[in-house]
A and B are shown apart, each in its own frame.
Chain A
Amino acid sequence: MVTEQIVNQLKKIMESESRILTEKADLVSYSFDASFGTYFPELVLQPLSAGEVAGIVKLANEYKIPIYPRGAGTSLSGGPLPVHGGIVLDFSQWNQLLIVDPEDTVAIVSPGVITANIDKEAKKHGLMYPPDPSSSHVSTIGGNLAENAGGPRGLKYGVTKDYVLGLEIVTAEGEIIRTGGRTIKNVTGYDLTKLIVGAEGTLGIITEATLQLIPRPQASKTLMVIFADIVDAGRAISSVLTSGIMPSKMEIMDQASIAAVEAYEPVGLPVDVDAIILIELDGHPLAIEDESEKVKQVCLDLGARKVVIAKNDHAAAELWRARKLVSPAIVRTKPTKISEDATIPRSKIPEMFKRLQEIKKKYQVDLVVFGHAGDGNLHPNIITNIQDKEEMKRVEKAVEEIFATAIELGGTLSGEHGIGTMKAPFMEMELGEIGVEMMKRMKTAWDPNNILNPGKIFPVKGQRLVLVND
């Protein structure tokens, strides 16, 4: 319980009282994220320094008050939801530190910096910060680090954890420590940096990060490949990668998403095909010119109906527009969108597509698939109406079966969204009882009082997926 006495103590820790939010309108405004469920915090704090965070956590640990770190609240897995009340730490305003050191090719950032701004700043020095979750113009780096966010470029460049050299974190006891450093090579002791990234704020609270930047590719080129048969599309994806070419993005749109886009804002896509794959190549202009022809040939050899190569950046943007239109197009009939990110090995893409169609039929749900095909990180999206209780029950079952199928095919529950509250019930299914137990031991060692983002990752006994709460 956050008592008046605790608030008074917090007033001494926080440098400004304007960053202590107690009004009801504020509390309810931090009760949600982009996933499901609403939980009211007792207090919201907007810290702007590691000192403030350390003070808050120390106090919370003493009184056993749950702490919930939150970035921009774009999480699709429930990462920042204050499921046990307590205090939400809103990091979105701590965006003041963004330094790019071109000599060391690193960026030093505070947790509230918007992810896309890091890449924007890196660009000024001919560098790039590759992780590009589609919410990167909104999401904070702190949230990306906590959830180990991915994005379309993950295929070639990897995900957030691949670009973290060092962290400053506040432990559950309220101590400030540093992990890693600012060199690429660093094998001193356990790799705590990689442990903290993706731990969803359950082991420590990230207050600063040192990120690796890489040279920026000079140019990019986009192709649109149309497949009448999804099996051909799946084979083409693998064949492109074994032809010596590593595209920066390979995004897929299934028949249902193509049809939805055409019904919403016709851009001239064929609606009688199984899939469209958008491929982006990046690198030296001459190299990608040559590679684009090769990719075209590989796809045509494997039965692609048509391959369009964008002549310039403007034409490329037009091709990507179709992909961008999917979101608004699919929510026209029903407002609620459940975006899943179960991921499977690349070779299983055609099989996964087949199984998704069966799930769609079995539970009579509106299911569309669009996502990152190159790394098997498909995004099956179920479109529904949260006010329709009966349908939501079927949706819950369909989602459960999607998870089970992904694991059965050798995949994983989450490619990039994180476990949070949404996928906690399925942890044992993927990791086994002992696997989960070993993770719990880590949690207990780092946070014995269970104050850091409690209620995430680990299910309570008998916990099931619930998308509707009253």
Chain B
Amino acid sequence: MTSQLAYKETFDCVQCGYCLPACPTYLTMGKERHSPRGRINLVKLAAEGKISLDEISDSLDLCLGCRACETACPTNVQYGKILESFKVAKSESNQSPFIEKLALQNALPNKFWQKAAVRTLGIYQKTKLNKLARKSGLLRVLPERLRAFEEITPVVQPPKRKVRQNTILPKKAKLNVAFFTGCVMDVFFAKINDLSIRLLEHAGCHVTIIKEQTCCGALQHHSGDKSFTKKLAKENITAFEQAEYDYVVNSIGGCGAMLVEYDKLLENEPQWVERAEKFAKKNIDISVILSSLGISFEKEINKVVTYQPSCHLLNVQKVKDDPVKLITSIPGLTYLPLPQADMCCGSAGIYNIVHYEESMDILDEKMKHVHTVRPAVIVTSNPGCHLQMCLGVKREGLEKKIRVVHIVELLAEACGIEAV
């Protein structure tokens, strides 16, 4: 049990406590065991056999995994590694819910299931069954958490085949890039992927979609299923090795963070580590590439806009300034920074479903700050954050006043680009 825990890494923590103000769960729960410093200490004690995995589970399970503590840490503790080691240890001691595992192993990476999900949801939404269900009060019998998400689930549209077939070829491509579509993103937000591709082309990139790509593995990894994550990583590495690309671009903060850490994931597999490193280095968030290439705008957006960064884009990929640079370059727009924007919104993969109450406490903190800014638009950079912010806006009754968009949607609008 103890051998899987990242024991050595826990000694990098000097217990200075600088991570405390950066931790959303310490802020809302107010107990040291719900702080990064407390969690690192608990993993250390568990590795020493002084406390059981069971006794520390509540503390570690309630961690969002936002890794804001890593950004705050003055001694570069690898908190992510320590947290994942607990997840693996726990998963291997067979405590992770079977259904969760089944879904993460099968549904997400499987194109068939994805398509089925799109169709079911699509039909469900198209036939207005959702409205009927909402009206009839049927949903009220569902747990609150499911009801909450049902109402903010975006209208599902399958990807536009036209966009995906490279219809526009820039005459002289500045960069030759491959596009990473993601699985949740390509189900719920296929339109954002389509717009991303158009934007990249608009900025002068030649974009290729590789059919063989699969799920990035982030959700499986966060649930401690390391071997399955590795399998997905290897599939992706192999898929993107088919041809040479300058970059592999994505517009999903969470997936990007997983992709750039494939080298860490596969560090103990000599035959893979080099390939993983090469692949990891190529992955880049769309905001970085668009900001360095520059894009031309056609339309003013005369609105007050704020930005809620994706934690994994900020704390793992270390992308901080590029999205803001892009947003502020849009003509007509008034940008107001969101106070404590670097605090997680409480989405955190499937955290908001598994730990609904705790997640809503964190979201309430976030919305307090949104109130001080009073934006017309909240920009996000990851589908999970996007849905969570929609939920926050809805819970505050602000749907008519605040629109939540992915940064790609806002940029496309200003560039006069449509997905079709």
Give the contacting residue for A328; candidates B32, B35, B37, B74; CB below 8 A.
B74
Give the contacting residue for A138; candidates B18, B32, B51, B75; CB below 8 A.
B18
The yes or no answer to A72 lying at the interface (CB within 8 A) is yes
Q: Given the known A-B contacts A30-B32, A34-B15, A138-B17, are A25 and B56 also in contact in the complex, defined by CB atoms under 8 Å?
A: yes
The yes or no answer to B16 lying at the interface (CB within 8 A) is yes
Give the contacting residue for B16; candidates A28, A135, A336; CB below 8 A.
A135
Chain A residues lying within 8 Å of B17, measured Cβ to Cβ, are 34, 72-74, 135, 138-139
The yes or no answer to B45 lying at the interface (CB within 8 A) is yes
CB < 8 Å A-B pair total: 82
Closest A residue to B74 by CB, please name it: A327
CB–CB B31/A32 < 8 A: no
CB–CB B16/A29 < 8 A: no
The yes or no answer to A208 lying at the interface (CB within 8 A) is no
B144 to chain A, nearest CB (A): 22
A-side residues, CB < 8 A to B, are 21, 23-26, 28-34, 46, 72-74, 90, 92-93, 114, 135, 137-139, 324, 327-328, 331-332, 335-337, 385-387
Chain B residues lying within 8 Å of A114, measured Cβ to Cβ, are 21
CB–CB A335/B14 < 8 A: yes
CB–CB A34/B32 < 8 A: no
Chain A residues lying within 8 Å of B12, measured Cβ to Cβ, are 331, 335
Chain B residues lying within 8 Å of A93, measured Cβ to Cβ, are 30
B362 to chain A, nearest CB (A): 17
Chain B residues lying within 8 Å of A328, measured Cβ to Cβ, are 74-76
Chain A residues lying within 8 Å of B30, measured Cβ to Cβ, are 46, 92-93
The yes or no answer to B38 lying at the interface (CB within 8 A) is yes
CB–CB B18/A29 < 8 A: no
Cα separation A250 to B239 with both chains bound (whole Å): 56
CB–CB B21/A138 < 8 A: yes
CB–CB A336/B11 < 8 A: yes
Interface size (B, Cβ < 8 Å)? Answer: 28
The yes or no answer to B90 lying at the interface (CB within 8 A) is no
Chain A residues lying within 8 Å of B45, measured Cβ to Cβ, are 28
CB–CB B74/A25 < 8 A: no
Closest A residue to B18 by CB, please name it: A138
Q: Given the known A-B contacts A72-B20, A135-B16, A337-B14, are A29 and B42 also in contact in the complex, defined by CB atoms under 8 Å?
A: yes
For this complex, 18 residue pairs linking A to B, each with C-beta atoms less than 8 Å apart, are: A25-B42, A25-B51, A29-B35, A29-B38, A29-B42, A32-B15, A34-B15, A34-B17, A138-B18, A138-B20, A139-B17, A327-B74, A327-B75, A328-B76, A331-B76, A335-B12, A336-B11, A387-B11
The yes or no answer to B244 lying at the interface (CB within 8 A) is no
Cα separation A139 to B16 with both chains bound (whole Å): 10
B321 to chain A, nearest CB (A): 14
Cα separation A31 to B15 with both chains bound (whole Å): 11
The yes or no answer to B58 lying at the interface (CB within 8 A) is yes
The yes or no answer to B59 lying at the interface (CB within 8 A) is yes
Chain B residues lying within 8 Å of A92, measured Cβ to Cβ, are 30
Q: Given the known A-B contacts A114-B21, A328-B76, are A26 and B31 also in contact in the complex, defined by CB atoms under 8 Å?
A: yes
Cα separation A137 to B17 with both chains bound (whole Å): 10
Cα separation A117 to B15 with both chains bound (whole Å): 22
B-side residues, CB < 8 A to A, are 11-12, 14-18, 20-21, 30-33, 35, 37-38, 41-42, 45, 50-51, 55-56, 58-59, 74-76
Which are the 5 A-B pairs with shortest beta-carbon distances? A29-B32, A29-B33, A29-B38, A327-B74, A74-B17
Chain B residues lying within 8 Å of A34, measured Cβ to Cβ, are 14-17
CB–CB B15/A29 < 8 A: no
Cα separation A70 to B333 with both chains bound (whole Å): 47
**Interface centre among A72, A90, A135, A336, by most B CB within 10 Å?**
A72
Chain A residues lying within 8 Å of B15, measured Cβ to Cβ, are 32-34, 73
Give the contacting residue for A74; candidates B16, B38, B51; CB below 8 A.
B16
Chain B residues lying within 8 Å of A385, measured Cβ to Cβ, are 11
Cα separation A327 to B30 with both chains bound (whole Å): 27
Give the contacting residue for B31; candidates A24, A29, A137; CB below 8 A.
A29
Cα separation A21 to B37 with both chains bound (whole Å): 18
Cα separation A404 to B15 with both chains bound (whole Å): 27
CB–CB B75/A28 < 8 A: no
Chain A residues lying within 8 Å of B50, measured Cβ to Cβ, are 28
Closest B residue to A339 by CB, please name it: B14
Cα separation A29 to B38 with both chains bound (whole Å): 5
Give the contacting residue for A386; candidates B11, B42, B76; CB below 8 A.
B11
B369 to chain A, nearest CB (A): 15
Cα separation A453 to B105 with both chains bound (whole Å): 53
Chain A residues lying within 8 Å of B76, measured Cβ to Cβ, are 328, 331-332
A370 to chain B, nearest CB (A): 13
CB–CB A331/B11 < 8 A: no
Q: Given the known A-B contacts A137-B21, A327-B75, are A26 and B14 also in contact in the complex, defined by CB atoms under 8 Å?
A: no
Cα separation A362 to B317 with both chains bound (whole Å): 44
Cα separation A388 to B59 with both chains bound (whole Å): 30
> Known contacts A25-B55, A28-B42, A135-B17; can you find 15 more A-B pairs with CB under 8 A?
A25-B42, A25-B58, A28-B45, A28-B50, A29-B35, A29-B41, A46-B30, A72-B20, A135-B18, A137-B21, A138-B17, A336-B11, A337-B14, A385-B11, A387-B11
Cα separation A93 to B29 with both chains bound (whole Å): 10
B285 to chain A, nearest CB (A): 22
Cα separation A98 to B230 with both chains bound (whole Å): 51
Cα separation A23 to B222 with both chains bound (whole Å): 26
Cα separation A93 to B58 with both chains bound (whole Å): 20
CB–CB B20/A335 < 8 A: no
B83 to chain A, nearest CB (A): 15
Q: Given the known A-B contacts A26-B31, A74-B16, are A32 and B41 also in contact in the complex, defined by CB atoms under 8 Å?
A: yes
**Interface centre among B31, B35, B42, by most A CB within 10 Å?**
B31
Closest A residue to B42 by CB, please name it: A25
